[in-house]
Amino acid sequence: MKVAIVDYGLGNLFSINQACLHVGLDTKITSNLTEIKNADAMILPGVGAFGDAMNYLKKSELVAPIKEFVKTGKPFLGICLGMQLMFTDSEEFGSNEGLNFIKGKILKFPSHDTQNSIVKVPQIQWNQISENTDEIWSNSALKNIPKKSYMHFVHSFYAKPENDNHILTYTEYADIKYASAVIKDNLTGFQFHPEKSGELGLKIYENWAKTIIK
Amino acid sequence: MKNVRIIPRLDIKGPNLVKGIHLEGLRVLGKPEDFAKYYYEHGADELIFQDVVASLYERNSLHEIISRTAKNIFIPLTVGGGLRSIDDIKQVLRAGADKVSLNTAVIRNPNFIKEASLKFGSSTIVVAIEAIKQPDGRYFAFIDNGREETGIEVVSWAQKVEELGAGEIVITSVDREGTGEGYDFELIKKIADAVGIPVIAHGGASNINNVKEAITIGHADALAIASIFHYHVAEQFSNNGDSKEEGNTAFLKSGRNFGIIKPSSIEEVKEQLLESGISCRPIK
């Protein structure tokens, strides 16, 4: 089973690759169109700015191949900024168009909470993930992961899907309860970094790996 | 919800984990890989590797240690020491680091923060500030592990660092580092309250109470801890007859005189934080 980890010049691919290898996945860090097309599953990583990432994807002519891949129904996993790119658009530095797999927006965390205390942005910490519904949770890569588990987060922006049914988990920060994982058909997105979330995170990769059909 | 991070900090010299006082007078404690693995398995939220001599000799000797460690450790790893160029950062990230910590290079060229954060993302760029208190009460930033004064006042520097795109700040009190006299709460609070990015406090903790106070009084978002944890692990390793490495020498066999440092495990620290109503990721 070949997993294409999309390399578009942004993001640290090492740790995602390590986690995949650890759970027995065969990976290829690539921007090669044929390799992407022939992969059995795809991971879209990313750190940094939404607009930059979309520009890099466009420049590498990867937008169309990624959209084609998603249409095949093969498993697709977006991580951190990779999850945010799955949405319609972002308010980061003006408006930027995303891949539009899931209707919704990417918004910035406020600098102060409802008590007017400073909120540190980016959120860099371990935080809890809670279920949207039991059913969505148990039909995702989170099945057999205890609810309210702590995962490692690093981000300044958060996703707001239009349709609640696309929300897999909620997390709270800056007095905002936001979508920290999303799911839609063959698409899964994690705002947190399962590859940096210890043994539980690895279990998530293991679960996701089982959804890949050769 | 703020969950405080507990981050073992491993100072590395050549192949060894070392611990000094005021960032000087280094003692060898063992192999960094062994300590890193132990911390990962015992609830560390992240790890910091600091090459304590790289900055002096302008070299990067950590790559091998990083890549050996990063293969088996699935928590964030920050690496610092002697990183001077975009290419230096690239190499460390490629070896398996998730973030880099910059000090000397960005004091000499503050725009390097901007360049690096645009290239790698803000969350990858941590700026380390090493502070020494002046007779007039102000704190100045130092470079080269506290050896060279810069004349730069730390609070305005911290704000500038944020403005230039750093994702986090590690503030080290060089006065307290390795002494066990407790964190410098005044310094930590000044920095933590002055910026909107997370602040990691480092330098001086000798017991769990110090750690608590760095959060409650100092408003730290995370704690980098060395002696308390290293001495605890060194005890475990030597009790298990596990101190086979050449490094684990005289100091550890000398009757383990840790001075006023009270060794504790990460578990103990986290348990006590939670009991005091301070949120963090529990271990079980």
User: Å from A135 to nearest chain B CA?
Assistant: 25
Active site includes A195? yes
User: Å from A72 to nearest chain B CA?
Assistant: 31
Residue B246's pLDDT is 46
Q: Choose from B188, B195, B281, B283 for mutation: most chain A CBs within 10 A.
A: B281
| Residue listed under structure tokens 């001599």 | B53
The CA–CA distances, whole Å, from B139 to A188, A203, B63, B148, B150 equal 48, 46, 33, 14, 11
Residue B58's pLDDT is 43
Read off the pLDDT of residues B235-275 as tens digits, 9 standing for 90 and up: 888 766 544 444 445 555 554 556 788 999 999 999 999 99
Read off the pLDDT of residues B123-180 as tens digits, 9 standing for 90 and up: 999 999 999 999 999 999 998 777 888 999 999 999 999 999 999 999 999 888 777 7
Residue A214's pLDDT is 65
Mean pLDDT of A102-128: 95
Q: What's the mean pLDDT when you consider all of chain A?
A: 94
Sort out which chain B residues have CB atoms less than 8 A from A121's CB and list them. 196-197
Residue B1's pLDDT is 75
Give the per-residue SS3 of B150-182: EEEEHHHHHHHHHHCCCCEEEEEECCCCCCCCC
Is the minimum CB–CB distance between B3 and chain A shorter than 8 Å? yes
Q: Please state, in angstroms and rounded to a whole number, the distance separating the CA atoms of residues B25 and A20.
A: 42
Asked if A197's CB is within 8 angstroms of B123's CB, the reply is: no
User: Å from A80 to nearest chain B CA?
Assistant: 12
Read off the pLDDT of residues B172-229 as tens digits, 9 standing for 90 and up: 998 887 777 888 999 999 999 999 999 999 988 889 999 999 999 999 999 999 999 9
Q: Please state, in angstroms and rounded to a whole number, the distance separating the CA atoms of residues B147 and B130.
A: 10
Active site residues of B: 11, 130
Mean pLDDT of B18-23: 76
Q: Please state, in angstroms and rounded to a whole number, the distance separating the CA atoms of residues B169 and B222.
A: 10
What CATH number is associated with residue A118? 3.40.50.880
* Active-site choice (A20, A80, A131, A155): A80
Task: Show the DSSP H helices in chain A as ranges.
Answer: 13-22, 33-38, 50-59, 63-71, 81-84, 134-138, 198-210
Q: Please state, in angstroms and rounded to a whole number, the distance separating the CA atoms of residues B57 and A143.
A: 50
Residue A90's pLDDT is 84
Mean pLDDT of A162-191: 97
Read off the pLDDT of residues B5-17 as tens digits, 9 standing for 90 and up: 999 999 998 888 9
Q: Interhelix angle for B63-70 vs B86-95, to 10°?
A: 40
Asked if A22's CB is within 8 angstroms of B2's CB, the reply is: no
The CA–CA distances, whole Å, from B210 to B171, B182, B243 equal 15, 5, 29
Q: CA nearest B188: which of B227, B142, B235, B154?
A: B154
Least confident segment among A47-51, A68-72, B74-78, B133-137: A47-51
Q: CA nearest B105: which of B116, B91, B120?
A: B116
CB A6 within 8 A of CB A45: yes
CB B170 within 8 A of CB B101: yes
Read off the pLDDT of residues B42-60 as tens digits, 9 standing for 90 and up: 999 999 999 987 655 545 5
Question: pLDDT band for position A79 (50/70/90)?
Answer: very high
Q: Please state, in angstroms and rounded to a whole number, the distance separating the CA atoms of residues A9 and A27.
A: 17
Domains of chain B: 5-275 (3.20.20.70)
Altogether, the residues listed in chain B come to a count of: 284
Query: What H or E segment, with its residue span, contains residue B130?
Result: strand B125-133
Which chain B residue shows the shortest CA-CA distance from A110?
A: B196
Q: CA nearest A50: which of A110, A95, A16, A13?
A: A95
Q: Which residues contact A59 (CB under 8 A, 6 or more apart)?
A: none
Active site includes A80? yes
What ipTM does this complex have? 0.94
Q: CA nearest A89: which of A76, A77, A78, A101?
A: A101
Asked if B168's CB is within 8 angstroms of A47's CB, the reply is: no
Which chain A residue shows the shortest CA-CA distance from B75?
A: A196
- Beta-bridge partners for A182: A167, A189
Half-sphere exposure at residue A55, Cβ-oriented, CA atoms within 13 angstroms: 7
Residue B148's pLDDT is 85
Residue B19's pLDDT is 84
And the tokens for A205?
Answer: 């990769």
Sort out which chain A residues have CB atoms less than 8 A from B1's CB and list them. 127-128, 172-173
Read off the pLDDT of residues A21-54 as tens digits, 9 standing for 90 and up: 999 999 999 999 999 999 999 999 988 788 888 9
Q: Interhelix angle for B185-194 vs B154-163, to 10°?
A: 30
Q: How many CB atoms lie within 10 A of CB A92?
A: 18
Q: Please state, in angstroms and rounded to a whole number, the distance separating the CA atoms of residues B265 and B260.
A: 16
- Give residue A201's domain range: 2-210
| Residue listed under structure tokens 């997390």 | A171
From B5, B71, B123, residue closest to A122, measured CB to CB: B123
Mean pLDDT of A174-190: 97
Sort out which chain B residues have CB atoms less than 8 A from A13's CB and list them. none
Is the minimum CB–CB distance between B278 and chain A shorter than 8 Å? no
Q: Please state, in angstroms and rounded to a whole number, the distance separating the CA atoms of residues A109 and B161.
A: 20
Asked if B282's CB is within 8 angstroms of A125's CB, the reply is: no
Q: Which residues contact B13 (CB under 8 A, 6 or more apart)?
A: B26, B28, B51, B52, B53
Sort out which chain B residues have CB atoms less than 8 A from A12's CB and list them. 93, 98, 120, 124
Q: How many domains is chain A partitioned into structurally? A: 1
Q: Please state, in angstroms and rounded to a whole number, the distance separating the CA atoms of residues B56 and A193.
A: 35
